[in-house]
Amino acid sequence: MKMRLFLIFLVTSCAIYSCSSLDDSKDKYSFYNSANNSESDTLLFLKNGGDVLSLTLPKSILTSETTFQVRENFGDVELYIHPGFHVYISKENTELSEIKSELQSDGFFSRKFIDESEDELFYQSTLPDGTKIGFNWVKIFKTSGYRVIVRSDPQGDYSKQDVHTMQKHMNTLNIL
């Protein structure tokens, strides 16, 4: 079963790569390579011009629905692993304080910031009637002057466990 999932992942990844009409111009991501990192992990590379991001995901969380898509119009990469794990990676210079202000100024949802640090926000959204609709997460990864922002899908309705799973696995993101 694990080998079947890996093969589905590999074929899907190759199809996405070969069907995309991407170029390697600055600020564009593309799926670069897939390799067998270990018996239980998949190593994924995302290329942005001359920069490469690597991400290690356990094969156990990959499903037949798993997709990696470059969204040229938004300048980011969308990683959809399964309904409880959907993130975007983008290269941008937005500060976390700006993201927090934007979330707070939303005219519809109110936000409760449960955990925040210098480079990470974990928050819950609430509808005007007081209905809590789920948790989300934003993190800034920085190294050697290169910076990316990773966000859970803001339209997703995630449990605390879903967000902690995303945090755990996205923390394997490295900027090479």
What does the pLDDT look like over 70-91, one tens digit per residue?
777 777 888 899 999 999 988 8
Would residue 79 be called left, alpha or beta, if left means φ above 0 and alpha means ψ between -120 and 50 degrees? beta
The predicted model gives 55-83 an average pLDDT of 83
Burial of 171: CB neighbours in 10 Å, binned 0-12, 13-18, 19+: middle
Model pLDDT for residues 100-124, shown as the tens digit of each residue: 999 999 888 899 999 999 999 999 9
Q: Global pTM?
A: 0.74
DSSP state letters, 134-153? EEEEEEEEEETTEEEEEEE-
Domain boundaries in the chain?
2-94+130-175
| d(C-alpha 45, C-alpha 147), whole Å | 16
